[in-house]
Chains A and B, each alone.
Chain A
Amino acid sequence: MNLSFVLRLAWRDWRGGELGLLVIALMVAVGTVTAVSLFVDRLHQALIDESSDFLAADRYIGSGQAIPDDFRNAALARGLDISDTMLFPSMVFVGDDKNQLVSVKAVDGGYPLRGTLKTADVPFTPGSPTTDLPAAGEVWLDSRLFPALGVSLGDTIEVGFAALRVGRVLTQEPDRGGSMYDLGPRLLMRMADVPATQVVQPGSRISYRLLLRGEDSQLEALKDELPLEPNFWWRGIRESSPSIGSALDRAESFLLLGGLLGVLLAGVAVALSAHRYARRHYDHVGILKTLGATPNQILIGYLMLLFAIGTVAVSLGLIIGGLLHLAIVAILQSLIPMALPMPSARPWLLGAATGFICSLAFALPPLIHLRNISPMRVIRRDIGAAPPSQIISYGAAAAGSLGLLIWYSGSLRLTAYTLIGTLGVMLLFGVLATLLLRGGRVIGMQAGSGWRLALAGLQRRRRENTAQIMIFGLAIMLLLILFLLRTSLLDEWRNQVPESAPNHFILNISPADVASIDSMIAGVSDQKGGLYPMIRGRVIEANGVAAEEWEKRVRPQGGDGPRLRSGRNLTWAADPPEDNRIVDGEWWSADETRALVSLEDDYARDLGLSVGDTLTFDIAGEIVEVEISNLRHLDWESMRPNFFIIFSPSVLEDFPATYMTSFFLEPDKKQFLNDLLAKHPTITVIEVDAIIAQLRSIIARVSQAVELILSLVVASGCLVLIASIQASRDARMSEHALIRALGGTRKLIAGSLAAEFAVLGLFAGIVAVVGAEVTVAILQSQVFELKMNAHPWLWLVGPFGGAGLILLVGMLGTRSLISSPPIIVLRGLN
């Protein structure tokens, strides 16, 4: 068989509608994968870019010491852009009477490397983006500083020994917040002016940063090259803002998973239509063989055919994918107002490879099998159509899926979970579907005629129907999984930053001020967090062993982790804080008199401490020995006061403590902080509103992306349903043609078809719910690190939704079966 003959055969098949579904399935596989991955690729880059804004850089190197020039030179040698910043607290003075503690940020040309500054001429207005920086001798001030210092634009203020002019109102900076050094309102100035202030002295508390921007690979290479430990730390968005980092990680996992499932679904659609194509070609091949076609000619012929349609489908699929993704981008431009960077080549490659791998893994096995069709089939129909080797079919499909999954996700773990899950679920599905069909017969005995016909049909084609339930079930299950994961991700994210979560913390409240501050806060906010006493202290012994010695024992090599000896904020409480979960031991009762302590579980684990151990503290010069009574798990991502160490009340009650609290403040009431600080100059206010706002915006976008991918995968799921119904059309067609020829009315046929689809859908739904619950529980706990939960409503929605969906798709797909006159149906059988 030469290529032109094969192409002629292919063309004739296409003309007859035989190849249509296979080509379409392949095309949709390629199109979906291309569109999803193009979109994910661009969105991913955009999210990374946008979250880089929160660092004002792609990465930075931070330290309490000045960054050495070697580091800068190494970065420049790698073609990276750099910019230096310094952050330190300082008092500023205006005249003799006004002064204020501010957080100074000194910046260099180029700052910010990512994101933008916003400035205004009038305090407490939103301001507009600028690419300028303060000129030499100029400072830009936070709105709040204008009333606090009583200055306006053009006035002069003193920072250390330098007199600097107030140039603009600074309303937004990309990398605001995050650092414990960064307390107080902002003053932005030029690095060149820092020496004149003379505030940088040996021992000053200064946070140095070298901002970096450039190629990921170069950045990673630089990280490996520099001698960072132990005095310099390397930070990306993931390290510097764990909440954003984890939101991004989870979103990425979700998008990948969505893409994976999309690929799998498309693969199933390809396999189904290839099997149908092959089955419809058994006679074809038999005839060709009687005409002298040899098995090898058949094999080579169908290989060429597959390659030819593969090429066509891939080309068309890439075009469709590209257009589809442009459409998505266009629709979303309003929803996701960010500039999407150009896509890389990967999505295109991925799309093309998906097409060819799908052809090979899913479509090839049934076609190879055609080689073995006996020519005797032509005179004796029952022969020579042994089903294709299951081992080869499933083996190839499994190998193909595996390859695609690994390449697509780049994650062995996610791939393994998906595959094991799918296989397990398929097994379970097979058993369940068989049982359900068997049960159906018993019920069918008592049913009306349409139902009886349907159930008889279901029984007769039990094997096909089991397979179909499995496929429907799989498709519905995958959709449910994505939907559930999406819901729990969104919930989790929403909980992480509730609408009116406290966005300001107040520390160092003296007991005498508690009442007054309380009432001041009540005047501006009705959202106030709990009041916690706080006292500094540090551990000096663990189980009678000196702290330093103990640390060496548990961490002989040194390394990461909290230090036992460090001074820490201690608190005491009668009840466990909200959101904290006791994971070991028990919380004390309100009247507990023993000296007990509760530790955060990671902290305890890192230091090799467990319930029953004793710790000796030095608190304000007094030595206190306590026993560890319980370990708590707490959510560091929540923006709430969190403590490593909590004592039982009796231990610390008599120590002089200060208090901390938190509250929610609307953005337009920020001036309240001035009043508060004016009245209580000794307190410290930590503003986390900027971080929370950033977190919200990232999460909002990530959520939209998640929703989008879900809807794309839903589209491939529907394709599988259609392909599967098409694949079963032939069997149904001959049966129903016969029934009509025997006098069955159109209504009877329609009724029985509807009943059949509804039952299939119902069973598939039941099967899908079981699979989805199990898989989601595993994914939640293993991959997304979310809380597991059951979904009782699913047990209703799954089966009935499944019945409705399959009924709809099925009736649409077989409409022509019912509406055409029986003679056409009979003739079409040949």
Chain B
Amino acid sequence: MDRVVIKTADVDKIVPTAEGELTILDAIDLEINAGEAIAIVGASGSGKTTLLGILAGLDLPTSGTVVLGGAELTALNEEERAIVRGQQVGFVFQTFQLLGSLTALENVMLPGELRGEASAADDARELLTKVGLGARMGHYPRQLSGGEQQRVAIARAFASRPKVLFADEPTGNLDTVTGAKVIDLLFDLNAEFETTLVLVTHDDRIAARCQRIVEIDAGRIIS
């Protein structure tokens, strides 16, 4: 397997607005190695979320190339990118993004079910137990606290056995103590599953736990 999981070359993101074109990302060149934990930091509005979306293949850059796990995302259509996401990528979001009509267990089962795995339910139970929610499997998101919801989301992210885990301010909606626990969990699982972690955060302490910090300002990597 290639040592580099993510590689971008000269990625720009330009969006049209009422006041003309707005450059959100400007000539981003980035290489991320397998197993690495990398933090993306920067001021609000600097383009972190946009970059994450492009790295994960949720969105396409205006120009430049993105390669993820050997697949050139920028050369694929949405159908093919979805398959790459399903096989290689996991997500944890600031707003948790659990499906409200599904129980915790069902939320975690989703990736396995999507791939048609017979063991989806068992794997999900194991993961939920790992994140400490073994007793809350049948509960709906609205019956869980924010921290619990985020733990379900983390379990779901690992359920797809991703090569790369993307997390966009996973603690942004949580208090400091809960946030710290969630981050511990994230790093533990990351180590256990040998996942590559790409983490967007405002929190210097969290960033410090990563091997590498990439700082963005006004759409450019400054360090």
Contacts and interface: CB of A to CB of B under 8 A. Distances in A.
A380 B79 contact: no
A292 B86 contact: yes
Contact of B93 (A13, A378, A827, A830): A378
A18 B53 CA distance: 29
A292 B168 contact: no
A291 interface: yes
Given A1-B114, A287-B110, 11 more contacts: A5-B113, A284-B99, A290-B91, A291-B110, A292-B84, A292-B114, A294-B82, A294-B86, A375-B59, A376-B53, A376-B58
- Chain A's interface size range is 20 to 34
A8 B101 CA distance: 12
Interface string B47-90: 00100110010110000000000000000001110111111010
27 contacts: A2-B116, A5-B114, A8-B113, A15-B101, A16-B102, A284-B99, A288-B114, A289-B58, A290-B58, A290-B85, A291-B86, A291-B111, A292-B85, A293-B82, A293-B86, A293-B114, A294-B80, A294-B82, A294-B86, A297-B82, A375-B82, A376-B58, A379-B58, A379-B168, A827-B142, A828-B142, A830-B100
A283 interface: yes
Given A292-B114, A378-B91, A18 B85 contact: no
A380 B93 contact: no
B101 A292 contact: no
Contact of B52 (A288, A297, A379): A379
B201 interface: no
A295 interface: yes
Contacts, number: 93
A34 interface: no
Nearest to A13: B101
B97 interface: yes
A779 to B, nearest CB: 45
Contacts of B209: none
Interface string A146-164: 0000000000000000000
A375 B99 CA distance: 14
Contact of B106 (A12, A18, A296, A380): A12
Contacts of A2: 116
A292 B113 CA distance: 11
A296 B83 CA distance: 11
Interface in B197-218: none
Interface of B is mostly: helix
A16 B160 contact: no
B141 interface: yes
Contacts of B100: 16, 830
B115 interface: yes
A292 B83 contact: yes
A374 interface: yes
Nearest to B94: A379
B141 to A, nearest CB: 7
A458 B111 CA distance: 41
Contacts of A5: 113-114, 116
A374 to B, nearest CB: 7
Contact of A378 (B58, B106, B141): B58
Nearest to A15: B101
B101 A12 contact: yes
Nearest to B116: A2
Pick the most buried of A5, A288, A290, A378: most chain B CB atoms within 10 A of its CB. Answer: A290
A15 B101 CA distance: 8
A722 B129 CA distance: 43
Contacts of A1: 114
A830 B100 CA distance: 7
B79 A296 contact: yes
A292 B97 CA distance: 15
Contacts of A16: 100-102
Contact of A374 (B58, B106, B113, B160): B58
A737 to B, nearest CB: 14
Nearest to B59: A376
A294 B83 contact: yes
A385 to B, nearest CB: 15
A292 B115 contact: yes
Going nearest first, the 5 A-B pairs with the smallest beta carbon separation are: A292-B86, A16-B101, A294-B82, A375-B58, A292-B85
A15 B102 CA distance: 9
Nearest to B84: A292
Interface string A808-828: 000000000000000000011
A223 to B, nearest CB: 61
Nearest to A5: B113
A287 B99 contact: yes
A5 B93 CA distance: 25
A380 B49 contact: yes
B49 A295 contact: no
Nearest to A18: B101
B85 A289 contact: yes
A372 to B, nearest CB: 9
A292 B111 contact: yes
A830 B53 CA distance: 22
A10 to B, nearest CB: 11
Contacts of A283: 97, 99
A294 B82 CA distance: 5
Contacts of A296: 79
